[in-house]
Amino acid sequence: MAFLPLRSVSIPDTTSRAYRQWLGSIAEALDDPSCDRNELCRSILTDIYYPTLRDAHPDELPEATRIALLQMDPRNITLEPEYYAEIDAQRYARVKPLLWLWEMFDKSPLGENVELGVRFRRILARHIFKRCGRDFKCFHFVKFSFGYNMEVGDGVTVHRHVLLDDRGGIVLGNGVSLADFVNVYSHSHDIGDARDIETPATVLGDGVRVTYHATVLAGVHMAADAMLGAMGVATKDIGSGEVALGIPAKPKLYKPPRDERPEHPKTKDPLADP
């Protein structure tokens, strides 16, 4: 196999400055303890989706347009996790505006811009998660349950269309990589009555890789350096260095000892923190 580290991609200097200024203003606002997160979300989303209607009087707008503008304000919408019985309403109220801002940003013309999107989500993650380490990199259309039960280490990468159901808590250790369309759960339903629910924490240790379209079920612990193969469903713990495959996933391969792995030079992620 070829050694293919990520390459740097340049954008115009004027664009880069504009991005830094906009992101900096959002980060500064969120660092202010007095920030009204609902109003911040409403203002940003209105500027993205309906900039010409920012100061419009509601009575002068068509009814459907008024309804659309209401969606810019997280106080006017409900999200599925708000209906979960075990929600900590006070903690969720703090993160809900940022979760809505994250989701609506992803659906906007800005969402698939990697340079802007990764840095935007990183700012929000630091104010949503229980813990967020350095160089967190998240691509578009990732969804959370509560958000506040996420514990994320350094150098974690989450790719497109990933579901992180943190009802019972999810821990992602340093260097964890979640590929496209991965699902990680931390709750399960009783087969007799779906209203009987368990919420064990799900833990992915340092260096764990979960590959395309794979699923980690609630309460599973993947030890450091473990791997779950494509389309696999982890129903039980996976040991260090094990590569689990299939449904249910079972260890079928084992990573070579570290001293037998290729010795490549360290490379910098072009989207890492400055």
**pLDDT(55) > 90:** no
Q: In terms of C-beta density within 10 A (0-12 exposed, 13-18 middle, 19 or more buried), how is residue 265 classed?
A: exposed
Residue 7 placed within a domain: no
8 Å CB contact between 47 and 25: no
- How high is the pLDDT of residue 1? 87
Average pLDDT of 144-171? 98
pLDDT band at 105 (very low <50, low <70, confident <90, very high): very high
- How high is the pLDDT of residue 216? 98
Residue 121 placed within a domain: yes
Residue 266 placed within a domain: no
Cα–Cα dist 161/156, whole Å: 16
Residue 267 placed within a domain: no
Residue range(s) defining the domain that contains residue 198: 14-260
pTM: 0.96
Chain segment 198-212, per-residue pLDDT in tens: 999 999 999 999 999
Q: What secondary structure letter does DSSP report for 261?
A: S
8 Å CB contact between 232 and 215: yes
CATH of the domain at 78: 2.160.10.10
pLDDT band at 57 (very low <50, low <70, confident <90, very high): confident
Chain segment 61-100, per-residue pLDDT in tens: 999 999 999 999 999 999 999 999 999 999 999 999 999 9
Both tokens of 186, joined, read: 């931390």
Handedness of CA 62, 65, 71, 73 (dihedral sign): negative
